[in-house]
Amino acid sequence: MAGKYWFNIETHEVEEGRKSDWTKLMGPYATRDEAAHALDKARRRTEAWDLEDQEKTGP
pLDDT at position 43, please? 93
What φ, ψ does residue 56 adopt, rounded to 5°?
Answer: -75, -40
pLDDT at position 4, please? 96
Distances (CA, A) of 24 to 20, 40, 49: 7, 16, 23
Are the C-beta atoms of 22 and 1 separated by less than 8 Å?
no
Question: How many domains does the chain contain in total?
Answer: 1
What is the C-alpha separation between 10 and 20, in angstroms, rounded? 10
Residues 6+ apart with CB under 8 A from 19: 6
How much is the pTM? 0.78
Taking only the tens of pLDDT, the chain with its 59 residues reads: 568 999 999 999 999 998 999 999 999 999 999 999 999 999 999 999 999 888 888 76
pLDDT at position 5, please? 97
Structural domain boundaries, residue 12: 5-57
pLDDT at position 48, please? 93
